[in-house]
Copies of this chain bind each other. A is one copy, B any other.
């Protein structure tokens, strides 16, 4: 405890994944939870599988660079 499932668009760099994992873990450590108890799972989703406002993000949100 806790388990954290993170859903992002496909294409985060390895460096960004590390920061997501370490950053979220620190949020719980600051609440007094031991770091070994924190599991963070990153799920990468292609933009054509992600809908916002009824449209695929691949159509609607172009020219976005991912971290």
**Interface residues, chain A, CB within 8 Å of chain B?**
1-9, 14, 16-33, 35-36, 38-45, 48-57, 67
Contact B3 A41 (CB under 8 A): yes
* Copies, count: 6
Q: A7-B41, A23-B24 are in contact. List 6 more A-B contacts (CB 8 A).
A: A2-B6, A20-B28, A21-B56, A36-B53, A38-B51, A42-B50
Considering the chains assembled together, what is the distance between the CA atoms of A45 and B6 in angstroms?
12
Contact A51 B45 (CB under 8 A): no
Considering the chains assembled together, what is the distance between the CA atoms of A4 and B32 in angstroms?
21
- A14's nearest neighbour on chain B, judged by CB, is B48
Considering the chains assembled together, what is the distance between the CA atoms of A14 and B55 in angstroms?
12
